[in-house]
Structure 1
Amino acid sequence: MPDLDEMGSTTIAFSTQWKYHGGFHALKYDNKARFSSSLAPDGSVSWAIVDSAYPLEQPAKRAITFAFPDIDWKFQQAVFGWAALQYQAWARGEIEVHTQTSQTVALYTDNVLEFWIDDEHLFGGDYYGFRRSPVVLHLDPGTHQLDIRLVRDLRAMGGGYGENGPSIDIDLELKVPAKPLDAVSKILVSDYVDGVLAGSLASVSLQNTDTRAVNITQISSANPYYSIRMVSGSQIHLAPGQARPIAFEIETLGAFASRLEVLVSYELPSSQDNEEILSSFTLSQEVKRRSPYEPQKMTFMHPGGIVSYAMLRPPSKEAQKLCSEASKSSVPILLQLHGAGLEAEDEMVAHALDPVPDLCAWTLFPTGVTPWSGDDWHTWGFSDVEAAIKAIPSWIQSVHWEGPSANTEKWLVSGHSNGGQGSWYIATHRPDNVIALAPVSGYLSIQSYVPYGTWRSMDPKRQGILQASLNSYRHELLADNLKGIPIIQQHGSADDNVPVWHSRAMHEYIEQAVGRSSYFELPGETHWFDGIMTTEPMRNFYKANLPTPGERLESSRLDQQSQSEKFSLVVANPADTGSKNGIIVLQLESPDQYGRIDVDFDGSRCLIATSNILSFRIHDDHRWTSIVIDGWQQDSNGGGNTVWFRNPEGKWASSSLSGDDAEKRSGRQLGPMEAILRSQGTLEIRDLLGTVPDIALQVSRNLHQYFGADTIISSNSKKVATGSGNVIEIYLMPPLPGPELHHAGSLSRYHHLRDDFLQLQRIDEDGHFRASLLLHDGRRRCYETPVGSWGFGGIFLSPLESERLSLTICGTGEEALRFAARFVPMLTGVGQPDFILFDQRCTWKGADGVLAMGFFDHEWKATRSSFIS
């Protein structure tokens, strides 16, 4: 049985310069060694010993607290604010395997981002403690070195601290799998309502803990009360160590059964050729019975091909009486977004609106897939919100609902903490859908929550590229989009989690941009208290902005707003921004800066002024006799859905853009690197040469860990994937000497658009490499590395058909490739542009060591504003 005996005396080194010294993993313990640090007294740190209690009843589990009392944290915070309480360190311990033979274990790493096991480097960990994708290790008997990167994050660990300063708490646990295929999550199943399940879809995450691939052949029912079938029409493949969420569909048969019994059948290769070992096991999950009028778990399919859930509360019987006229048509959706670290089914979330049971609305508590909403209610998390809204009509049909239908196009949006921030995101990005907005204790953006002032210094243009990658989440810069939306803000004056400054500042931004919002500050109240979502101002706001007797919400916001009232639409990324009063931006001229449309009226003329806009669409343009764009009179064609674009001469013309034109970047392809998460189907990870399966596994594990995403891992594939999802390609330059050029990602038939964007070349056998990057004007920028380095690594987006995307991870060697894989979007607030090229200096200089990074324009060319060193 493996345990963590030696973790009782863990050694740590606290240093921001560990990579400069060759990496912490390369250091040997020396209590006399000193390392530079800007935080420590005398500017240096050394090794130290941390003791932890030994839990006799759980020898393979450790909870360890790391703190640095010698640092003057109060002074640091007085100068740098909360950002001073974020720091990094490294710790070293050992794992002892006391068995006589090799042992397979699953390692859980709660609150750890990065670590080494002996000489194996693993990036991603389980920073938020989701525990959905542990690392599978096959350890020989004896001692194994464990190096852990410690990262303190304020949003996850809080801003308070005791006498020893802000600490880092981690949990490590080793489990011995009982079988080659094991469940790493509970079964996700909907609640039982009026004789049926509130959603027919269910799923469970299964992990292959064997050294051989496993095929799941069937998911079936182990009791007679349910019929079960896999959503996939074929076997599901799991690579060694991979975890995947397996979706299946359930049909109820007869009487209600409080337990769901699921039989999982699978096969794996035997030691003999052409033979398979067949096996199965049973999983069990409680099914809860709910009244149609109480919050209930409803399952549905996320666009990324996984099963998700939301808590749904239909209008009560009393609400139907109060808004009987409105119920003859449909009523809007009241969205309630939870804060970080919470599940939508938690009591404090699903029952937060119990004090207001009779609202004339469908109340929806989305989950965003994970307790952190995947990416803070942004790309992946907001897709979950929209999918949950679209699932309500299916619920109405399946339970034979006879009350009011749901107006899935009109939303009153509210949320707490991170959900308050998510409320700002939804309202600024879907202004035509939002009828009212009520953020509570929310922050403006990650950049303003924990300022980036203590990041490593870098070239201002490099920093500008990273900041531009986060443009879509600076809600204060999108405040113009809120015009016409009733807004209430509420915040406790004594909030020590999200400072009240955030709401005060946004109130000021809104007043300057659109002129009105209601703001209520609660004296002496903290971040959360029972009833925070139903205070008197909040209750009055809900009732004032939801239907009342005799009122319907069938008209669009265009009909509600005076046609003579001017407005503006500010866009950071057209892919995630909807329309404002019927006008929607399709493409920006330069994707790294905001686009803007200002609309005014002169009688029956519509006056439009644009900034950084390449194309946009006007819905119902026949409302005006003429349109003036940037001072030029245009004839409205009366088509009711006109697309305007700036032609090569710089003049505006009307036309229709083809969504299948692969040479033009549009739709879901737009946005920085996180656009890869805008997948309409299961993501596929392709190891193009079949030589680095562990990197593909790490990418798969991180996507599943932090987003709950499903991925297909394939190797030696030279054809375009046949699935509907986006693709991640991993390309290691073959270790061949000579002048051959290797076009990273060139195996895709759509890469002919720019298959020579990045060329990697080995010059000689001594580790001398050249990289060549295609610039906007057709010239090439070449880079060379000194002899003995690990060369170059890169990562970049490229197009596939039907608005799909490919993300290519490439390197001249395994070390460079592993570093490139770290840039795959995983945590929020980081910022990855469309392409990044780097060499070994990036490992210790961070973003300041990047050779080139930037964005692609609508023709998939690197923009002129990209950083090219």
Structure 2
Amino acid sequence: MSKLAGRSDRRLSRGSGYPRGIMSRTLAIVLLIPCLHVLADRATLADPPPVIADFEDFLVIEPVGKGGRSPVHTDAIEAAIVDGSWATPEGGDAVLVGRIPRIWQSASAGEGGWLTDDALRGGYALVTVDRDVAGPAILEARGHSMVYVNGAPRPGDPYANGSLRLPVMLEAGENEFIFKVGRGRVKARLVDVPRTEAGVAKTFFFTGADDTVPNAVVGVPLDTYAGVVIGNLGSKWMPDRSILVTGPGGETATSAMPAIPPGSVRKVPIRLVSAAVETPGVATFRVEIVDPGSVEPVDVRTLDVKAVEPSAPRRVTFRSEIDDSVQFYGLVPSSTVPREGDPSGGPGLILTLHGAGVDARRQAAAYAPKDFAHVVAPTNRRKFGFDWEDWGRLDAMEVLDHARRTLGTDPDRQWVTGHSMGGHGTWQAAAHFPDRFAAAAPSAGWIAFHTYGADRIEGDDDPHSIESIMARAANPSDTLLLRDNLDELGIYVLHGDADDNVPVDQARTMRRSLAESHPDFAYHEEPGAGHWWGNRCVDWPPLIRFLEDRSIDRDRNRFRFTTVSPGINAGGDWFRIAQQQRANAPSRVRGTRNDEEGRIEIFTENVARLELDLDDRAPAWTVMIDGEQVGPDAKLDLLNGRGAPAFYDRTPDGWRRRGVINPRAKRPERNGSFKDVFRHQPILVVGTMGDEEEDRVTLAKAIHDAEAFLYRGNGVLDMILDVDFDREQHPRRNVILYGNQKTNAAWSQLLADDPLEIDRTGIRFEGLEVTGDDLAVLAIRPRPDWATVSVGVVAGTGIAGMRLTERIPIFQSGVHYPDLVVFGPESIEPKTAGLQGVRAAAFFDHDWSLGDDHAVRETPKDE
């Protein structure tokens, strides 16, 4: 009888780090569509290092749990890792999934080095490599969701694009790699580290993969940024270094090198400066890692930048305010250059959102140049990215603002359109930001995850249950909750009636919802057309004319607006929903504004605080809210001839005029929920105050998250050890603490006076308490020294709890969390159903206290 692999009594000693065999699951729903490809600017590097090992002989096992686009999943192997009972399996060993055994079986790679097996549609592939001596190597793998290397979690390459070249530290003896695979195949190998001409291994190196590179424009001097990936093969944090870039004409620019943890990679911004080139072609830059104590550079490469004509489609790079990374967007310049003194307000701007797997420059290039507008295509942070939600949504709006500033476009002539996943992004952008666009035109777009095949969390009759809180956390993904906002702008829906990828029912559902009542709606189904029917399915002449004919009306005297989160969008030009009664439930305002009479009448739903910012079109304003005249004399007087913000709170006695909001309170600038902490140039602070194993697991989790954000979002997450962190040196930034108050020394700088307490015995927050040394906690709190930024917490109450955090999907679109969520180890047991393993969840009150919007489940429930 075979033993139950993963339930053996074999354990690793404390000094050996985590148990081997840990592996994370990340399942992604992607659109398989004809993709637009781009020939990337390539780096010139030394000859590739020799191969150490091609992975050929594996053990594979079918799925041992259930996953999806959800904050919770189950997995019997992970459960064994968390409780410390995992042991390396042999062929024929079994893993019980409930009462059903899954068997580890032998399998071998085939043509091209790919291991293909039906078990790998959600299963695992395990391989071991023996080494005589310890030392670094580089893992090159494709097709996997994630891999654990000798127990350390590393992100995978599910889209098999080859962009990840990860440093790994091999041990003397057996080294174990466990790949979680979702698409049925995986390919992996180890290659030697880069070496100098003398054969000495390099500690820091350019990976040569995944560059973010702009285009130069003929006749225009270049002064912008690129992003290149650098790896640290050493056992210590990368010391102070700089990067020297030399242009084709000898121009130089030096960029600071950020810290890179040992055995990790990160993308680094570099400045590119050169004189104008006179003809299209390639400009070559020399890039060096410079050690101030050495004459010779640490590593050298070249970077080619393609120069294009001013009228040609091109890539534009910029530094993102989200995380200080280098991002790009595609641009097709308008074919008409406005004359000096033209009173038209500048050209318009078509924001076009690409589908899954499509490059942003090629998305833009699918459009012929327009004489009335620039065509701008953001990236969603990657070709697959975040489905235009989360950081994808932030990227779209950041690109809109950057392009508007640099191109001088008319803010009243902005339109959003997109195809497939970008059609979904169009619905999302229009629904969340109706004040930013004159019209929206989705092509082959799906509405929301739950209308397109994904499960969603359903609340129950108790609005403050864990199920209801977690369901509300996901409301930003539900386009239909914001349907009324779509009435504020023109809508053109385009779809092929033979689409076998995004069913035409997605378009027809929106037609049924909008056609009867929408004041400016157009719809076209192309007979016989599938999902992609050439450039016409984005550059469709009637759709383009529809956009051109519409402008934003800033003088409407009737208004209506809905938000599910003021942190995403709080309102229009002159009003904001500053606080909600129930977090992440729809909040609505509607009413009329009469400038001649100086009268505003507003009706609200789920609004706790309202802000009005009025101008001088009336000498004084009478304000009516929910039928009640508000203010000491019912007049909002202007100050110094200009409008001044007025603040109104809902009280038990009705609406009352109040003063400026407490800067520590929840408000649009700092509203939560948890994932919001990964913006405002976040920095990860890694705890070192635990024992050896706790510190190792904590650092590995932080490295994994930083590398996962690089892969998923082309992003950077600065990282620092707690003993090196000084909050005065990192102002105006979100900070994420990895570890609890006993294991992270920076806790005392940021949360010493905060009621949140997490240690090895459990979590306590005012009246909420959950005990145990195996809990995983995600939380967001206000940063005490800055009014607009936050502190995040990724913590375990003990080593098992910290391991439990490793598989929580943070950088996955469609997965949402409230301000606080506590997971128990039963959350990943196959016998656990739904959210029964979530021990606690909360949206904090307006003052960041506990309030009544929380729930605790002390005793796990089995179903």
Q: Given the alignment, which residue of 724, 729, 734 partners 2:737?
A: 729
The C-alpha deviation readout for 1:461-516, integer Å capped at 9, x for no partner, is: 43333221121121111011112311111112222222222121122222466455
> For the Cα contact (< 8 Å) 1:105–1:138, is it kept in 2?
yes
Report the equivalent of 2:253.
229
CA distance in 2, matches of 1:219, 1:309: 21
Q: Given the alignment, which residue of 365, 368, 371 partners 2:383?
A: 371
Q: Does 1:111 align with 2:143?
A: yes
Counting only pairs closer than 5 Å after superposition, residues 566-581 of structure 1 correspond to structure 2 as: 567-577=559-569, 579-580=571-572
Q: Given the alignment, which residue of 835, 849, 853 partners 1:861?
A: 849
Cα deviation, residue 369, structure 1: 2.5
CA distance in 1, matches of 2:218, 2:320: 25
Report the equivalent of 1:406.
409
> For the Cα contact (< 8 Å) 2:110–2:116, is it kept in 1?
no
SS of corresponding position for 1:701: helix
Cα deviation, residue 217, structure 1: 2.5
Counting only pairs closer than 5 Å after superposition, residues 335-484 of structure 1 correspond to structure 2 as: 335-346=351-362, 349-354=363-368, 357-372=369-384, 374-392=385-403, 395=406, 405-408=408-411, 410-452=413-455, 461-484=465-488
CA distance in 2, matches of 1:734, 1:629: 49
CA distance in 1, matches of 2:678, 2:320: 12
**CA 1:334/1:198 → structure 2, altered by over 3 Å: closer, same or farther?**
farther
The C-alpha deviation readout for 1:812-854, integer Å capped at 9, x for no partner, is: 3223113225446211112122111233222323732121012
Counting only pairs closer than 5 Å after superposition, residues 734-813 of structure 1 correspond to structure 2 as: 734=742, 746-749=747-750, 752=753, 755-760=754-759, 769-774=761-766, 780-785=767-772, 790-800=773-783, 801-813=786-798
> For the Cα contact (< 8 Å) 1:14–1:46, is it kept in 2?
no
Structure 2: 5+ residue runs without aligned partners? 1-49, 66-74, 195-201, 858-863
> For the Cα contact (< 8 Å) 1:116–1:148, is it kept in 2?
yes
The 10-residue stretch of structure 1 (647-656 or 791-800) with the greater mean CA deviation from structure 2: 647-656
CA distance in 1, matches of 2:460, 2:176: 33
The letter for the 2-side match of 1:829 is G
SS of corresponding position for 2:710: helix
> For the Cα contact (< 8 Å) 1:199–1:300, is it kept in 2?
no
Report the equivalent of 2:34.
none
Report the equivalent of 2:56.
7
SS of corresponding position for 2:510: helix
Report the equivalent of 1:180.
203
CA distance in 2, matches of 1:631, 1:454: 36
RMSD between aligned residues:
3.5
CA distance in 2, matches of 1:102, 1:239: 19
Q: Does 1:31 align with 2:92?
A: yes
> For the Cα contact (< 8 Å) 1:326–1:547, is it kept in 2?
no
CA distance in 1, matches of 2:508, 2:313: 33
* Count of matched residue positions in the alignment of Structure 1 and Structure 2: 760
SS of corresponding position for 1:367: coil
Cα deviation, residue 611, structure 1: 1.2
CA distance in 1, matches of 2:566, 2:456: 29
**CA 1:749/1:89 → structure 2, altered by over 3 Å: closer, same or farther?**
closer
Report the equivalent of 2:14.
none
Q: Given the alignment, which residue of 114, 133, 139 partners 2:170?
A: 139
CA distance in 2, matches of 1:342, 1:721: 42
> For the Cα contact (< 8 Å) 1:410–1:433, is it kept in 2?
no
SS of corresponding position for 2:177: strand
Report the equivalent of 2:80.
22
Give me the identity figure in percent: 19
Cα deviation, residue 240, structure 1: 0.7
SS of corresponding position for 1:669: coil
Q: Does 1:292 align with 2:353?
A: no
Q: Does 1:672 align with 2:703?
A: no
Cα deviation, residue 437, structure 1: 0.7
Cα deviation, residue 228, structure 1: 3.6
**CA 1:21/1:309 → structure 2, altered by over 3 Å: closer, same or farther?**
closer
The C-alpha deviation readout for 1:496-545, integer Å capped at 9, x for no partner, is: 2222221211222224664552121222222112123356xx31232243
Q: Does 1:543 align with 2:559?
A: no
The C-alpha deviation readout for 1:326-355, integer Å capped at 9, x for no partner, is: 775312211111112222123xx132112x
CA distance in 2, matches of 1:573, 1:209: 42
The letter for the 2-side match of 1:637 is L
Q: Given the alignment, which residue of 604, 607, 612 partners 1:613?
A: 607
Q: Does 1:833 align with 2:818?
A: yes
SS of corresponding position for 2:422: helix
The letter for the 1-side match of 2:180 is R
Cα deviation, residue 733, structure 1: 5.9
Q: Given the alignment, which residue of 239, 248, 252 partners 1:215?
A: 239
> For the Cα contact (< 8 Å) 2:333–2:375, is it kept in 1?
yes
Q: Given the alignment, which residue of 272, 284, 288 partners 1:250?
A: 272
**CA 1:672/1:733 → structure 2, altered by over 3 Å: closer, same or farther?**
closer
**CA 1:611/1:534 → structure 2, altered by over 3 Å: closer, same or farther?**
closer
CA distance in 1, matches of 2:837, 2:685: 27
The letter for the 2-side match of 1:239 is P
SS of corresponding position for 1:263: strand
The C-alpha deviation readout for 1:77-134, integer Å capped at 9, x for no partner, is: xxxxxxxxxx96432332434x64334222234332233334x141543334455454
**CA 1:856/1:734 → structure 2, altered by over 3 Å: closer, same or farther?**
closer
**What is the TM-score of this pair, normalised by structure 1?**
0.80
CA distance in 2, matches of 1:407, 1:675: 30
SS of corresponding position for 1:201: strand
**CA 1:246/1:44 → structure 2, altered by over 3 Å: closer, same or farther?**
closer
Cα deviation, residue 613, structure 1: 0.8
Q: Given the alignment, which residue of 826, 847, 862 partners 2:835?
A: 847
CA distance in 1, matches of 2:134, 2:625: 72
Cα deviation, residue 177, structure 1: 2.5
> For the Cα contact (< 8 Å) 1:4–1:94, is it kept in 2?
no
Report the equivalent of 1:312.
331
**CA 1:112/1:597 → structure 2, altered by over 3 Å: closer, same or farther?**
same
